[in-house]
Amino acid sequence: MSNAESVLKPMVVSPAQEAAKPLFDQVHAWIVTVDHKKLGLMYIGYGILFLVIGGIEATIMRIQLAIPNNHFVSPQTFNQLFTMHGTTMVFLVGMPLLFGFANYFVPLMIGARDMAFPRLNAFSFWMSALGGIILYFSFIGASGLYGAGSAPDVGWFAYAPLTAQAFSPGHSTDYWIIGLLVSGIGSIGTSLNIVTTALCMRCPGMTLGRMPLFVWLNLVMSAMVLIVISPLTAAQIMLLIDRYLGGHFFDTQAGGSAVIWMHFFWIFGHPEVYVLIIPGFAFVSEIIPVFSRKPIFGYAIMVAATLSIGFLSLGVWAHHMFTIGMTSYANAFFTASTMAVGVPTGIKIFNWLGTMWGGKIRFTIPMMFCIAFLFQFLIAGLTGIMLAASPFDWQLGSSYFVVAHFHYVLIGGLVFTIFAALYYWYPKVTGRMWNETLGKWHFWLFLIGFHLTFDFMHIPGVLGMPRRIYTYEAGRGWEIWNLIISLGVIFQIVGILFWVVNSVWSYFKGKPAGNDPWDAWTLEWATTSPPPDYNFAKIPMVRSRRPLWDLKHPEDPDWKYE
Partner 1 sequence: MAATTIAIPPAEMPLAHELRGRVGMWCLIAAESAIFSIFVVAYLYYSGKSLSGPTPREVLHVPIFNSICLFSSSFTIVMAERAIARGKTRLFGIWWLFTIALGTIFILGTAREWYHLIYDEGLTISSSLFGTTFYSLVGLHAFHVIVGLTGLSIIMIFTALGVVKQEHSPRIEVFAMYWHFVDAVWVVVLTVVYFIAR
Partner 2 sequence: MRGYLAIAALCTGAAKLVFATSAAGPDIPSIFSPASTPADSIYRLSLFVLAICGAIFLVVFSLLVYSVVKFRRRPSDDGREPPQIYGSNQMELAWTVIPVLIVVVLFLATARVIHAVEDARFPPGTTEITAVGHQFWWEFQYPEQGFITANEVHVPVSDAKHPTPTHITLLSADTDHSFWVPKLAGKTDLIPNRTNSMWIDPHETGVYVGQCAQYCGTQHAKMLLRVIVESREDFDRWIAGQRQPVQHVDSVARGRQVFETTACVNCHTVSGTNAGGKFGPDLTHLMSRETIAAGAALNTRENLKLWVKDPDTIKPGSLMPAMQLDEHDLDAVTDYLLSLH
Interacting residues with partner 1 between 215 and 244 (CB under 8 A):
223, 226-231, 233-235, 237-238, 241-242
Binding mask 512-541 for partner 1 (x = CB under 8 A): --------------x-----------x-xx
Q: How far is the CB of 98 from partner 1 (least distance, A)?
A: 18
Q: How far is the CB of 441 from partner 2 (least distance, A)?
A: 14
Give the residue, chosen from 307, 339, 469, 551, that forms a contact with partner 1 under the rule CB under 8 A.
551
Rounded to a whole number, what is the distance in angstroms from the first to the last CA of the chain?
Answer: 23
400's CB contacts (< 8 A; 6+ apart) are 457, 458, 459, 460, 461, 465, 466, 467
Closest CA to 364 of 298, 412, 317, 421: 421
Q: How far is the CB of 195 from partner 1 (least distance, A)?
A: 5
DSSP character for 114? Answer: S
Give the residue, chosen from 67, 339, 483, 494, that forms a contact with partner 2 under the rule CB under 8 A.
339
Task: Give the three-class secondary structure for 466.
Answer: strand
Residues 61/81, Cβ–Cβ less than 8 Å: yes
Q: Which stretch binds partner 1 (CB under 8 A): 153-161, 476-484, 511-519, 547-555?
A: 547-555
Which of positions 146-205 make contact with partner 1 (CB under 8 A)? 188, 191-193, 195-196, 199-205
Closest CA to 39 of 80, 85, 78, 96: 96
Answer with the entry of partner 2, partner 1, none that 349 interacts with (C-beta below 5 to 8 A by kind).
partner 2
Task: Give the three-class secondary structure for 516.
Answer: coil
Identity of the amino acid at 387? L
Which of positions 257-316 make contact with partner 1 (CB under 8 A)? 257, 260, 264, 267
Give the residue, chosen from 515, 542, 545, 549, that forms a contact with partner 1 under the rule CB under 8 A.
542
Residues 378/347, Cβ–Cβ less than 8 Å: no
Which residues, listed in sequence order, are joined to residue 432 by a DSSP beta bridge? 512
Answer with the entry of partner 1, partner 2, none that 195 interacts with (C-beta below 5 to 8 A by kind).
partner 1
232 phi and psi angles, rounded to 5 deg = -65, -45
User: The dihedral of CA 479, 480, 485, 490: what is its sign?
Assistant: positive
Binding mask 103-142 for partner 1 (x = CB under 8 A): -------------xx--x----------------------
Answer with the entry of partner 2, partner 1, none that 14 interacts with (C-beta below 5 to 8 A by kind).
none
Residues 485/458, Cβ–Cβ less than 8 Å: no
Answer with the entry of partner 1, partner 2, none that 475 interacts with (C-beta below 5 to 8 A by kind).
partner 2
Q: How far is the CB of 195 from partner 2 (least distance, A)?
A: 27
Give the residue, chosen from 205, 359, 514, 532, that forms a contact with partner 2 under the rule CB under 8 A.
359
Answer with the entry of partner 2, partner 1, none that 397 interacts with (C-beta below 5 to 8 A by kind).
partner 2
Which of positions 5-24 make contact with partner 1 (CB under 8 A)? 6-7
Answer with the entry of partner 2, partner 1, none that 264 interacts with (C-beta below 5 to 8 A by kind).
partner 1
Which of positions 501-540 make contact with partner 2 (CB under 8 A)? none
Angle formed by the axes of helices 213-245 and 299-312, nearest 10°? 10
Q: How far is the CB of 317 from partner 2 (least distance, A)?
A: 16
Identity of the amino acid at 94? G
**In whole angstroms, what is the distance from residue 342 CA to residue 57 CA?**
32
Q: How far is the CB of 526 from partner 1 (least distance, A)?
A: 7
Q: How far is the CB of 414 from partner 2 (least distance, A)?
A: 19
Identity of the amino acid at 45? G
Tell me whether residue 7 or residue 73 sits nearer to partner 1 (CB atom). 7
151 is a site residue for partner 2 (CB under 8 A):
no
Whole-number Cα distances in Å, 315 to 26, 269, 334, 406, 519: 48, 12, 8, 19, 41
Give the residue, chosen from 5, 18, 436, 473, that forms a contact with partner 2 under the rule CB under 8 A.
473
Residues 36/107, Cβ–Cβ less than 8 Å: yes
185 membership: H or E segment, kind and range? helix 172-200
Closest CA to 188 of 143, 243, 149, 234: 234
542 membership: H or E segment, kind and range? none
346 is a site residue for partner 2 (CB under 8 A):
yes
Which of positions 376-405 make contact with partner 2 (CB under 8 A)? 378-379, 382-383, 385-386, 389-399
**In whole angstroms, what is the distance from residue 227 CA to residue 254 CA?**
30
Identity of the amino acid at 548? L
Identity of the amino acid at 259? V
Binding site for partner 1 (CB under 8 A): 3-4, 6-7, 116-117, 120, 188, 191-193, 195-196, 199-208, 223, 226-231, 233-235, 237-238, 241-242, 245-249, 254-257, 260, 264, 267, 526, 538, 540-543, 547, 550-551, 554, 559
